Structure 1
Amino acid sequence: MTAMDAQTTMPADAGPGAQRPAGRACLAAALLVLAGCAAGPDFRRPAAPAVGSYAAGGMPTAAVAARHGSQTFHPGDAVPANWWRMFGSAEMDATVGQAIANNATLQSAQASLRQSQENLRAGHGVFYPSVDAGFSAVRQRASPLRLGVGGAGGLFNLFTLSATVSYALDVFGGERRTVEALAAQADYQRHAALAAYLTLTGNVVNALIARAGYQAQIRATETLVLRQKEQLAIAQAQASAGAVPASVLGIASQLASSQAAIPPLRQKADQAAHLLASLSGKLPAEWQPATVEIETLVLPRDLPLSLPSELVRQRPDILEAEALLQLASANIGIAAAAMFPSFRLDGSYGRNSNTVGGLGAGDAAFWQLGPSASMPLFHGGSLLHRRQAAVEGYRKSMEDYRQAVLDAFAQVADVLTALGHDAQALQAQDEALESARRALELVQANFQAGLVNYLDVLTADTQFYRAQIGQLQALAQRYQDTTALFIALGGGWQSAPAHAVSGVEPKEGRE
């Protein structure tokens, strides 16, 4: 019920004598009703989208199988809290734990959360009376002329001991809406901290996978360079003898291209290491990340897939937008309450005396008690326009919430299709690598039989290592897109124990 819904009526047939007690009863009833009402709309969280899948074609069940394994989706299963452990790397688990404990961005978000929670606790103080005490000791000179009385002024001491009590009667709910706004701000900061936690864990895992992939590609490329150097030396010797001189330039070009590929890979590996140091709250010069070998990582086979109706209740970015929507709703109530009268109940008690000992005298006491009210009459239309501005702010927040949901569903759909494409790409790279391996084995057998020269062996070896580099890139991409799925589904924070998310306690959303 809102304040604008509360109305009182008087019977038309009541006479003047009956109207007075009836009017008092109606007024008392109206005040009681209004005391339970608040201006502005009561917030209701938006309903989840009425869809059964993230993309056309329904919910997936299994990705395309590759030689490194297929991945099966389990719709309705919750994402594990420590999902990164599904990759089977103790080094990865330890690095993520260090980052959660030391990351500056996460700790900043948690400090903002604690700040907003303290502001909310402070805001609840409005529901209690304010009690203050005071004592003053002054020496002053009074002039009777200020009172219109002739005579000489007097010089005296005045000691005052007093206590005041003040209580705001929140008849139209403006204070309650203000506290609701503070609660929404606390919810927003809480979900911002969860978003920082989710982003941190995803970035750490992705950086470890990328660094492992870069290092594996560096090793394969360095081996390729060695083979190409051997190939170039043989070609140069053959050219000196007058055989196949044109192959020298082609091999030299391939060698230079392979050598040129190593520095960018090293730079990317170094950048990943520096990023991991920063994410772990360390300077790059004082911390070395753990080494994760991409060959030792385990591809998660059973992938949880939250239902679309659950996604809007577990994605921190959607919950942030929802908290801002409730804040905008509360702002409408605050602006609406400002258009109604405000009431206060104030009282004070004290004692005055010219001496400290005289404060206990019977005639030293003074007190006052009574209600006060103020009613806005004319503010140049500012109050009405402020309320309308709050309404437009709510509409904006609703559209922002809707866009956050659209972006989230699109992200999940992208990752689901990417995992299928990754499996297809990795399958093709595995087949290319297997074909290159067999071709190399065949050339090596022919070389041992004297059917081909060693240059043919090195050429086949080069093709094998190029296929291996492509396979490593496809494998790393599949690991990273698997990570992206866990992140897109909310990271599993709601499945964690109360203490597990480094100070961010899981909490059920508003109904």
Structure 2
Amino acid sequence: MNSQSFLLSALSLLVLSACSLAPDTPDQLAQVPANYPQQANASVDNNASTLHWSEFFNQPQLQQLISQALEQNKDLRLAALNVERVRAQYQIADSALYPGVDLAASGTRQRLPGDLTGTGQAAVSSQYGVNVGITAYELDLFGKVRNQSEQALQQFYASEQSQSSAQISLISELAASWYSYAANQQLLELATHTLNSQNKTLELTEKRYELGAASELTVQQLRGTVAAAKVEQSRYQRLLQQAKNALDLLAGVQVSADLLPKQPLSKLLTLPDLPAGAPAELLTQRPDLKAAEHQLRAANANIGVAKAAYFPSISLTATAGTASAELGGLFEGGSGAWSFVPQISMPIFNWGRTQANVDIAETDGKIALESYQQKVQQAFREVADALADQAGYRSQLDALQQLSHSSERAFELANARHQQGADSYLEVLDAQRNWYSAQQQLISGQQARLQGQLTLYKVLGGGWQQSPAP
């Protein structure tokens, strides 16, 4: 057999079709209801999964901050590096499907003593060779190598989806911290304004007390309200700094002052409404669910790898080239050389290790399926809760605005009656406390409304697109 015939024979063996022992992944992996318990805004055209984050967050400072975080955040960088690593692992696994061709050149020169040459005289021998061939290439007759490649491919897909999930989490956490900073800043301004007002009132009342026009009880009550206002001011200074620290961590750099919110929350309530769509759409919109599906497919491929261990493994080592005792005779006529070394390995008895590996792989597949279905149910609940929050926050915010207006008017009337001598200052203090509490609740309600819209955007799978839609 010449080298050309050998290569043709080897190639004919390589194209043998392989059977796969991996179970098929069912088309319907999870049952989801037809509708959410509380469907809202069904007529709105914006879809969270196709709406780029820059179209959802319409504040220029927040848009610039998110862009900065997508480039600098360490968690997102780690997720991207993990994708690169898994991509390389897939390339390694996929390369095993095809034979690797190696070129090898060798030369040997040795001296043998006389008692080993058979002639009684020492001799020097030489051997030179140049070969091209394949080494230990496994024929994938039972789908082992193909399933290993499929497993690595699905894990690569899952890592890409995990990277998208990390981006969604980063954007939502950053936006929530940005809105939290705006809320704490407004609450700090409210506390500072209240403290300054009460300090002025205390100074006037102390002068009136010295003249005998006010009682000591009124002075002590005002001193108590001033101290309480200082406590509130210190509290919101601390919360404001914590919100700034969170922004710095998420952005990956120190956030400059020009990127911090400058407007009150009432001016930031401009996020677009989103339709919930059908629950089944979550399976294609949310990257975490798609990642779980790819993990399930990878687990099924691993079952095929484990089952293939029951069958013989056939590997080929083959070379073709030239060999000669003289370096100059390597490429002369008659110097051709080839070798063909097939090897078969058949498992006979290993104390149940092969079956145990199959059991582990099948159990891993069941775990992956249960995990996927659990994630789908959790995603459905998250959207249902977010929809319920949307309706609740709207009505709650309307009621808080009414409470704010009425408490402010009551404070004005109580102060006017006190100036006219109709009521004591105790009624003014009580009305002022009610007004301050109503303002706090209104700001917190506005923050909750924004957080509810942000949560709905996140749980519907928004924020993963890398570039704006055309």
Q: TM-score range by the shorter chain?
A: 0.7 to 0.9
Deviation (angstroms), 1:329: 0.9
Say if 2:298 is the partner of 1:327. yes
Tell me the SS of whatever aligns to 2:315: strand
CA distance in structure 1 between the aligned counterparts of 2:105 and 2:158, rounded to whole angstroms: 43
Q: Which residue of structure 2 lines up, in the alignment, with residue 419 of structure 1?
A: 390
Say if 2:287 is the partner of 1:316. yes
Q: Which residue of structure 1 lines up, in the alignment, with residue 6 of structure 2?
A: none
CA distance in structure 2 between the aligned counterparts of 1:119 and 1:195, rounded to whole angstroms: 21
Deviation (angstroms), 1:186: 0.2
Tell me the SS of whatever aligns to 2:285: coil
Say if 2:185 is the partner of 1:215. yes
Deviation (angstroms), 1:126: 2.3
CA distance in structure 2 between the aligned counterparts of 1:353 and 1:123, rounded to whole angstroms: 38
Deviation (angstroms), 1:233: 3.1
CA distance in structure 2 between the aligned counterparts of 1:84 and 1:250, rounded to whole angstroms: 51
Q: Which residue of structure 1 lines up, in the alignment, with residue 328 of structure 2?
A: 357
Normalising by structure 1, report the TM-score.
0.80
Where do residues 380-459 of structure 1 align in structure 2 (5 Å cutoff)? 380-443=351-414, 446=417
- How many percent of aligned residue pairs carry the same amino acid? 27
Q: Which residue of structure 2 lines up, in the alignment, with residue 24 of structure 1?
A: none
Q: Which residue of structure 2 lines up, in the alignment, with residue 172 of structure 1?
A: 142
Where do residues 481-492 of structure 1 align in structure 2 (5 Å cutoff)? 481-492=452-463
Say if 2:467 is the partner of 1:500. yes
1:59–1:144: structure 2 CA closer, same or farther, 3 Å change rule?
farther
Q: Which residue of structure 2 lines up, in the alignment, with residue 134 of structure 1?
A: 104
CA distance in structure 1 between the aligned counterparts of 2:330 and 2:377, rounded to whole angstroms: 70
Where do residues 101-140 of structure 1 align in structure 2 (5 Å cutoff)? 101-140=71-110
Aligned residues of 2:167 and 2:463 also touching (Cα < 8 A) = no
Q: Which residue of structure 2 lines up, in the alignment, with residue 20 of structure 1?
A: none
CA distance in structure 2 between the aligned counterparts of 1:165 and 1:385, rounded to whole angstroms: 33
Q: Which amino acid aligns with 2:183?
A: G
Aligned residues of 1:277 and 1:289 also touching (Cα < 8 A) = no
CA distance in structure 2 between the aligned counterparts of 1:280 and 1:381, rounded to whole angstroms: 53
Tell me the SS of whatever aligns to 1:378: coil
CA distance in structure 2 between the aligned counterparts of 1:491 and 1:403, rounded to whole angstroms: 21
Q: Which residue of structure 1 lines up, in the alignment, with residue 4 of structure 2?
A: none
Where do residues 180-219 of structure 1 align in structure 2 (5 Å cutoff)? 180-219=150-189
Aligned residues of 1:228 and 1:462 also touching (Cα < 8 A) = no
Say if 2:143 is the partner of 1:161. no
1:138–1:32: structure 2 CA closer, same or farther, 3 Å change rule?
closer
Deviation (angstroms), 1:318: 1.8
CA distance in structure 1 between the aligned counterparts of 2:85 and 2:426, rounded to whole angstroms: 70
Q: Which residue of structure 2 lines up, in the alignment, with residue 23 of structure 1?
A: none
Deviation (angstroms), 1:131: 0.6
Normalising by structure 2, report the TM-score.
0.87
Deviation (angstroms), 1:309: 0.5
1:152–1:336: structure 2 CA closer, same or farther, 3 Å change rule?
farther
Aligned residues of 2:218 and 2:425 also touching (Cα < 8 A) = no
CA distance in structure 2 between the aligned counterparts of 1:153 and 1:402, rounded to whole angstroms: 77
Q: Which residue of structure 2 lines up, in the alignment, with residue 467 of structure 1?
A: 438
Q: Which runs of 5+ in 2 are unaligned?
A: 1-12
CA distance in structure 2 between the aligned counterparts of 1:385 and 1:144, rounded to whole angstroms: 57
Deviation (angstroms), 1:75: 7.9
CA distance in structure 2 between the aligned counterparts of 1:223 and 1:468, rounded to whole angstroms: 12
CA distance in structure 2 between the aligned counterparts of 1:161 and 1:427, rounded to whole angstroms: 86
CA distance in structure 2 between the aligned counterparts of 1:121 and 1:413, rounded to whole angstroms: 41
Q: Deviations over 1:93-139 (max 9, x none)?
A: 11111111222221221121122223223322223221101112232
Q: Deviations over 1:362-383 (max 9, x none)?
A: 3432212364322111222111
Deviation (angstroms), 1:308: 0.7
> Which one is further off, 293-302 or 130-139?
293-302
Q: Deviations over 1:44-102 (max 9, x none)?
A: 35434230233xxx3323xxxxxxxxxx4548962153346445311111111111122
1:32–1:405: structure 2 CA closer, same or farther, 3 Å change rule?
same
CA distance in structure 1 between the aligned counterparts of 2:176 and 2:359, rounded to whole angstroms: 46
> Which one is further off, 317-326 or 79-88?
79-88
Q: Which runs of 5+ in 1 are unaligned?
A: 1-30, 62-71, 506-511
Aligned residues of 2:38 and 2:387 also touching (Cα < 8 A) = no
> Which one is further off, 286-295 or 311-320?
286-295
Aligned residues of 1:311 and 1:490 also touching (Cα < 8 A) = yes
1:352–1:413: structure 2 CA closer, same or farther, 3 Å change rule?
same
Say if 2:30 is the partner of 1:60. no
Q: Which residue of structure 2 lines up, in the alignment, with residue 40 of structure 1?
A: 22
Instruction: Give the CA RMSD over aligned residues.
Output: 3.0
Tell me the SS of whatever aligns to 1:127: coil
CA distance in structure 1 between the aligned counterparts of 2:460 and 2:379, rounded to whole angstroms: 9
Q: Which amino acid aligns with 2:87?
A: Q
Where do residues 289-300 of structure 1 align in structure 2 (5 Å cutoff)? 289-293=259-263, 294-300=265-271
Q: Which amino acid aligns with 1:44?
A: P
